[in-house]
Structure 1
Amino acid sequence: MAREYKIEDYRNFGIMAHIDAGKTTTTERILYYTGKSHKIGEVHDGAATMDWMEQEQERGITITSAATTTFWKGRDGKMRRFNIIDTPGHVDFTIEVERSLRVLDGAIALLDANAGVEPQTETVWRQAEKYHVPRMIFCNKMDKTGADFYRSVEMIKTRLGATAVVMQLPIGAETEFKGVVDLIEMNALIWRDESLGAQWDVVEIPEDMKAKAEEYREKLIETVVEIDEAAMEAYLEGNMPDNDQIRALVRRGTIDVKFHPMFCGTAFKNKGVQPLLDAVVDYLPSPLDIPAIKGIDVKTEAEIERHPDDAEPLSMLAFKIMNDPFVGSLTFARIYSGKLEKGASVMNTVKDKRERVGRMLQMHSNSREDIEEAFAGDIVALAGLKETTTGDTLCDPLKPVILERMEFPEPVIQIAIEPKTKGDQEKMGLALNRLAAEDPSFRVKTDQESGQTIIAGMGELHLDIIVDRMCREI
């Protein structure tokens, strides 16, 4: 079976933000408009597709990064393949964010238009800097009381020390938020409320916004021409770049992490999501646009690169282990090079063990489809792996390589835990060990003096949820 989508048509990206900025809602809207969800799941109903663990649906927060594959037709009419990872915003789950950033090519940073840049926004931003992840910014919740787009733009400069390239201006704010001004096409998009955001009208920029739109378009062009000498010279001679040139420059600057294109809308009210998806196609990198992954050749210990090409030897990174009630243990992996077939034997170079891929699944949040093979750039879930843990490299046994290891922070809080009855001791031990295999920021040990079982994690909520899961899953 040949590859269905060319690798340049892939976009592997995540959505990152402070808690409650609307990540899961935005992802739900993306799945709805890209045709993967038949109805929009609301977080406050406990029906969000990406929040598939019971505790997530009860608490209305995202704990584990669910990976999903979906498709979007870009402005050019060509279909693109999106692999999206929904990451938690709560500080206790920072490890999940770090882990997913490691395997992404780009990210959308979400801001709450009322709060702007919040503490956890700064944390995830720093993590993305560490992995040099190209980012776009979506100023969400423009319909909220106190929403202020321009203050958020200012905070990106002052709090994050980053350059936001404003691509859209909001038309109205709070309850009056209607749509956006597109600063490249210089027109206005007004969403029709009754169509669940599926339809919008392209109209002229409102009279009272024309001067502001001209001012911000000028700023946009000034920023983007700086990254290209020829464009800069032409601009200084009075020649304005055309719209396609502007898009090409924005793409280049975004991928080189020189600046970050910024958009706005309200995911909950279904306004602004489709232009954001077009922007993912236009400005975020495909696996070909980012540097090849580096690794260590196991035989020679020399540093080598693996390019995103199906013809190269297989190399992939396991970035998450999950226990699925139907399939058992699932290993989520990003394939960097080569291709993988169901039933293949692969080498875990970190553990120095061979593993056999039993089933290979394409995940859509909590539903899944079996696939026979996967290619460079894919994110897949593998069933049947016995030894593999988070951060391990899986590769072609004949061309062994160890990709860069992931680094995990030390736990910050620990508590003693004991079962209600002696008979549950063994069950508890097994459950704790399984949870520790899934989550490297969670540790289990036995106190030598008291004989108590001690669990350690990234915060109270983290440990609460671990205990909660253990009680449900035992």
Structure 2
Amino acid sequence: MVTENYKSLLESPDRDIALSKVRNIGIMAHIDAGKTNCTERILLYTGVNYKVGEVHDGTATMDWMEQEQERGITITSAATTCFWNKHRINIIDTPGHVDFTAEVERSLRVLDGAVGVFCAVAGVQPQSETVWRQANKYNVPVVAFVNKMDRIGSDYFRVINDIKETLKVNAVAVQVPMGEEEDFVGVIDVITRKAFFFEGEHGTEVITKEIPDEYKEKVEEVYHHLLEAVSEINEEVAEIYLNDEEPDADTLIAAIRSSVLKAELVPVLCGTAFKNKGVQPLLDAVLNYLPSPVDLETISGMDPKSNKEITWPVSDNEELSALAFKIMTDPFVGRLIYFRLYSGTLKKGQTIYNPR
């Protein structure tokens, strides 16, 4: 666990947002699971965009290439930044097509966490397995989002079982859907016992209500299943559970977060990005469960002088260390290089050393 004293040593006085409030995440999925639609809603709800870009009509912000707009798929990894509840979220929207797997792997290498998007009808698909293996390779913690809950044949709990059996992970529901297929109207958070409905244009207004009576029994069932799963891997929750008590929401969320960072648990949420339902709670889950750069504590690499592996703190006050993960050409500014900064600071006009 990272201490507050340790955190204070990491921060530069020039930093506007503390490292502990930064999330570097990727959105990964099989093609057509709704990954880019999900990202577009995130950009709308966080105020980056004032209108929704749609994949089907070629206006998605993250699909900037002409070929992407023509085909309605993501080919290259696109990066953007947004802000939610006083946190900074840096997002990389990765390709879902199997032909662009190398592009996905380059992106996953620089992420702290990821959102795995699954189709509520198709469940785990071939590219879902590929990107999940890549996330495991680079120790990237993941939360899952079952998208397209409005589609005919959608089944949230079947997809969760599919994730468990196919990907061999401890996937556990933290939400219960209200309605199914065309009658899907919102989600229930089983931890806070609150129901969320999404109203207004593009679902920008989140209405919080008490759980409707017809869902109370299912919510209790899912909650106790979650509690059992967490108590098996968290001593604090286990002690509370064995005493026939319930942990408060903050304790349970902290326990889930700890388990996610250790790759012991995958919390699963649901919604329909295209119909503007369930994305705001997903943003909350990104903040609650996925790691900040502070959670890395140290980074390893090769010393260019001695050619030996060394380890150093993830800190603004260390020497500059970064990894270039994407190069693109902009018609206005020329060549752009995207960096993941691991330590130190990078300023305009600064000369940096490339050891390769």
TM-score range, shorter chain: over 0.9
1:72 and 1:82 in contact (8 A); partners too: yes
Say which SS state the counterpart of residue 346 (structure 2) adopts.
strand
User: Which residue is equivalent to 2:330?
Assistant: 324
Compute the displacement of 1:229 (Å): 2.1
2:191 and 2:223 in contact (8 A); partners too: yes
User: Which residue is equivalent to 2:225?
Assistant: 219
Write the distance in 2 (CA, Å) between the matches of 1:245 and 1:278: 16
Aligned partner (choices 39, 47, 54) of residue 51 of structure 2: 39
Q: TM-score when scaled to structure 2? A: 0.94
Query: Number of matched residues?
Result: 344
Identity of aligned residues (%): 56
Aligned partner (choices 307, 312, 322) of residue 301 of structure 1: 307
2:237 and 2:252 in contact (8 A); partners too: no
User: Which residue is equivalent to 1:188?
Assistant: 195
User: Which residue is equivalent to 2:125?
Assistant: 118
User: Which residue is equivalent to 1:17?
Assistant: 29
Q: What aligned pairs does 1:418-457 form with structure 2 within 5 A after superposition? A: none
Aligned partner (choices 256, 262, 279) of residue 256 of structure 1: 262
Say which SS state the counterpart of residue 281 (structure 1) adopts.
helix
- In the TM superposition, what whole-angstrom CA distance separates every residue of 1:178-215 from its partner, at most 9, and x where no partner exists? 001110111211222x4320113222222222111101
User: Which residue is equivalent to 1:346?
Assistant: 352
Say which SS state the counterpart of residue 56 (structure 2) adopts.
helix
Say which SS state the counterpart of residue 340 (structure 2) adopts.
strand
User: Which residue is equivalent to 1:265?
Assistant: 271
User: Which residue is equivalent to 2:164?
Assistant: 157
2:177 and 2:186 in contact (8 A); partners too: yes
Compute the displacement of 1:165 (Å): 1.8
Say which SS state the counterpart of residue 353 (structure 2) adopts.
strand
Compute the displacement of 1:291 (Å): 4.8
Say which SS state the counterpart of residue 43 (structure 1) adopts.
coil
User: What is the alpha-carbon root mean square deviation over aligned residues?
Assistant: 1.2
Write the distance in 1 (CA, Å) between the matches of 2:110 and 2:116: 16
Task: Letter of the 1:236 partner, please give it.
Answer: L
Write the distance in 2 (CA, Å) between the matches of 1:200 and 1:327: 39
- Structure 2 residue 48 is the aligned partner of structure 1 residue 60: no
Say which SS state the counterpart of residue 16 (structure 1) adopts.
strand
- Structure 2 residue 109 is the aligned partner of structure 1 residue 102: yes
Write the distance in 2 (CA, Å) between the matches of 1:333 and 1:89: 22
Write the distance in 1 (CA, Å) between the matches of 2:296 and 2:333: 34
Say which SS state the counterpart of residue 83 (structure 2) adopts.
strand
Task: Letter of the 1:243 partner, please give it.
Answer: A
Write the distance in 1 (CA, Å) between the matches of 2:100 and 2:109: 15
Give structure 1 stretches of 5+ with no counterpart: 74-78, 351-474
Write the distance in 2 (CA, Å) between the matches of 1:234 and 1:39: 46
Say which SS state the counterpart of residue 345 (structure 1) adopts.
coil
Q: What aligned pairs does 1:368-387 form with structure 2 within 5 A after superposition? A: none
Task: Letter of the 1:41 partner, please give it.
Answer: G
2:297 and 2:314 in contact (8 A); partners too: no
Give structure 2 stretches of 5+ with no counterpart: 1-12
Task: Letter of the 1:300 partner, please give it.
Answer: S
Which is bigger in relative contact order (C-alpha 8 A, separation at least 6)?
2
- In the TM superposition, what whole-angstrom CA distance separates every residue of 1:250-308 from its partner, at most 9, and x where no partner exists? 11011111011110000001100101001111111000112522111122333212322
